[in-house]
Amino acid sequence: MKLHEYQGKELLQNEGVEIPESRVAYFPEEAWMVSMNIGYPVMLKAQVLTGGRGKSGGVKKCRSAEEVRQYSRQMFGSVLTTHQSGKNGLKVRKILVEKAVDYEKEFYLSFVIDRNTATIALIISKQGGMEIENLSATHPESVKKILINPFTGFLPFHARTVAAFLDLWPKTAEIFNLLGKLYRIFVTKECTLLEVNPLVLTNAGSLIPLDIKIDIDDNALIRQKEILRYRDLSEFNEDEVEARFYGLNFIKLDGNIGCMVNGAGLAMATMDFIKQAGGAPANFLDVGGVATPETISRGFEILSRDGSLKAIFVNIFGGIVRCDKVADGIIDATTRHHISLPVIIRLSGSNVEEGLKTLKASRKNFHLVTDVEQARDIINTLVNN
């Protein structure tokens, strides 16, 4: 689960980290009033759950109340499209109004989980404000990765390593204090990412996080009750939220072939196959490793709302669940949700013959196949019709 910048800053404040004064505004007048309290210049920062806001007009420096009024009116309700937001972009509903800070230097800092070593990696760079992926590709020597053993936590020598690399040796104690707090948030809130970009050295000589991006491990939300109140469902579209509610895994994409598959890996591979066959996958939909008539019905319900589909490809590898049960579920669901689209059905596993017989007898608009390759031409024909 992604947190907004202002939510991340609330966590920083609770941990006693010094940050510039700021408040969230929901209306232009509110932004204007908040800015008068804070004093100019202020930064207006659109609170949308995507990276790359700066480049797409989501961050503006304002020197007067008049500027705040003008820019906040433009920003509220506008749609930000960044390289990470998807082509539909995200609507701005909240703006963080923050005291502008003069600084000498900016740095990059993040904590992430390092898959290979089972450690927590602290990534730092002298080149703040840049995107770290690009930076590590073009200037790998300017990025340093420090691996922290989860049993020891963040230690003084880690802080010395950071200070030495960033040429901030006189600030070692401050780094130990600040990064120790950030590390504590990363661990206690069970983050998968805590990124401060930029971390700045102000003209007054203090180290301050100017922006913060936090992702919380979805698996941990069950025991992170106070984080749950931060949940912003606008990160997902409505169908994605509903799918989650039913225990399905659904991601909407732009395409013309809906698909429903059991298991995430097979679902991804099926999407790839649709693309190779000349179609465009309209979604990712994993009905769970073990597909049941109930999950299949829910899946059809969600797919039935997508008006841009030319066909639906159901790829179920039966395995432990019997294919005849799955077939009954498909007939029931397509009837109940009034599916008139062509449905390509690939079933494999136990009792597959009975399953196919039932589907055939239903005389619906089904294209039945027993292996994936047979679906290729059908997809191609349906897409080009």
Partner 1 sequence: MSAGINESTRVVVQGITGREGSFHTRQCILSGTNIVAGVSPGKGGEKFDGNIPVYNTVSQAVEEDRANTALVFVPAVYAGDAILESVFAGIKTVVCITEGIPFHAMLKVKRIANTFNTLLIGPNCPGIIVPGTGKLGIMPTQIFSKGHVGMISRSGTLLYEAADQVCRNGLGISTAVGIGGDPIIGSDFIYWLEQFEQDPNTHAIVMIGEIGGDMEERAASYAKAHISKPVFAFIAGRSAPEGKRMGHAGAIITGSAGTVTSKETAFEQANIMVIRNLALIGQTVSENLSLK
Question: x/- string (CB under 8 A) for partner 1, residues 313-352?
Answer: ----xxxx---------------------------xxx--
The reply on whether position 295 binds partner 1 by CB under 8 A is no
What is the token pair recorded at 236? 């997902």
Residue 331, classed as helix, strand or coil, is helix
Known catalytic membership, residue 30: no
Is it true that the peptide bond before 198 is cis, omega within 30 degrees of 0?
yes
The reply on whether position 10 binds partner 1 by CB under 8 A is no
- Is residue 309 packed enough to be buried (19+ CB in 10 Å), middle (13-18) or exposed (0-12)? buried
Cα–Cα dist 4/227, whole Å: 11
The reply on whether position 226 binds partner 1 by CB under 8 A is no
Phi then psi dihedrals of residue 126, to 5 deg:
-75, -15
Phi then psi dihedrals of residue 206, to 5 deg:
-105, 155
> Of 187, 237, 337, 364, which lies in the binding site for partner 1, with binding defined by CB under 8 A?
187
Cα–Cα dist 335/338, whole Å: 5
Residue count at the site for partner 1 (CB under 8 A)?
A: 58
Closest CA to 154 of 126, 125, 120, 188: 120
Least Å distance, CB 341 to partner 1, is: 20
Cα–Cα dist 294/22, whole Å: 48
Query: Could you tell me the end-to-end alpha-carbon distance of the chain, in angstroms, rounded to an integer?
Result: 40
**Shorter beta-carbon distance to partner 1: residue 174 or 217:** 217
What is the token pair recorded at 372? 């994936």
The answer to whether 193 touches 132, Cβ cutoff 8 Å, is no
> Of 74, 134, 203, 380, which lies in the binding site for partner 1, with binding defined by CB under 8 A?
134
The reply on whether position 149 binds partner 1 by CB under 8 A is yes
Least Å distance, CB 78 to partner 1, is: 21
Known catalytic membership, residue 103: no
* Options 6, 71, 103, 108, the catalytic residue: 108
Least Å distance, CB 182 to partner 1, is: 15
Least Å distance, CB 93 to partner 1, is: 21
Q: Which residues bind partner 1 (CB under 8 A)?
A: 84, 86, 113, 115-116, 118-120, 131, 133-134, 137, 149-151, 187, 190, 192, 217-220, 222-223, 249, 251, 253, 261-276, 281, 284, 286, 289, 317-320, 348-350, 371-373, 376
For the annotated catalytic residues, the residue numbers are: 108, 195
